[in-house]
Amino acid sequence: MPRTAIVLKGAKVRQINLSRKTAVCPSCGKEGKRHSLGHRWIYDLGLSKPALLNVTYSKHFCSKCDHFFNISMEQLAMPGSSFTNRVTKTAMALIMDKDMTLTGASELLQQKYHVHVPMTTLHGWVAAETKAPQRAAG
């Protein structure tokens, strides 16, 4: 198991397979063949116990532009994040929409959804959100 994932006792582990034989190269648009497989652990919201996703994804090579790339996982989690987009969205709604403190949001996520999000992580998400350009309504 990777050093970045801490499996809590009794956690529900779901296997997610995002492996494909080919994928479109983000650099040139040509299809690249699968080179190898990778694994990533991502924490998710749990209803009755902690939830952890064990994601298998494909790594590809584009022979046209000599570029190695991974299949996109942005539908599950942002690159480099240990938490699913659902965790991020729920935490941000608690903080921004319900005016909770970082401590309150962290505690509620732990109590209600069984996922521990450190306050420093929450602070980073809030800082990124408030620095992002706001979209015009309409």
| pLDDT tens digits, 34-92 | 999 999 999 999 988 889 999 999 999 999 999 999 999 999 999 989 999 999 999 99
Question: Domain locations in the chain?
Answer: 8-73, 83-131
pLDDT band at residue 2 using 50, 70 and 90 as cut-offs: very low
Q: Is the pLDDT of residue 118 over 90?
A: yes
3-state secondary structure the chain: CCCCCCCCCCCEEEEEEECCCEEECCCCCCEEEEEEEEEEEEEECCCCCCEEEEEEEEEEEECCCCEEEECCCCCCCCCCCCECHHHHHHHHHHHHHCCCCHHHHHHHHHHHHCCCCCHHHHHHHHHHHHHCCCCCCC
- Check residue 1 and give its pLDDT: 42
- Check residue 7 and give its pLDDT: 60
pLDDT band at residue 131 using 50, 70 and 90 as cut-offs: confident
**The whole model's pTM is what?**
0.81
Which residue is associated with the tokens 């299809």? 31
pLDDT band at residue 3 using 50, 70 and 90 as cut-offs: very low
Terminal CA-CA length for the chain: 46
